[in-house]
Amino acid sequence: MRFIPLLALPLLAMTASPAPAKGCIRGAAAGGVGGHFVGKGHAVAGAAIGCVVAHHHYAKQARAQKAAARTHG
């Protein structure tokens, strides 16, 4: 049950920004696989961290695209 805060954090991050949720899903998959190879019990933590990192990446990318559209349009 100690992973509940780790699972709540990505959900909170997804609601704060309109970036696509596919970033979270891709990051969670990659993080889960990476955490699985690190050791027993690390897959859930890896998935949560991967979701947050990928969501941040896609949100930053969306902000950059919006800024580029403003300067060119």
Give the pLDDT confidence of 31-51 residue by residue, as tens digits.
Answer: 999 998 988 889 989 999 999
Predicted structure pTM score: 0.63
Q: Confidence band (pLDDT; 50, 70, 90) for 64?
A: very high
3-state secondary structure the chain: CCCHHHHHHHHHHHHHCCCCCHHHHHHHHHHHHHHHHHCCCHHHHHHHHHHHHHHHHHHHHHHHHHHHHHHHC
Domain ranges within the chain, ordered by starting residue: 22-72
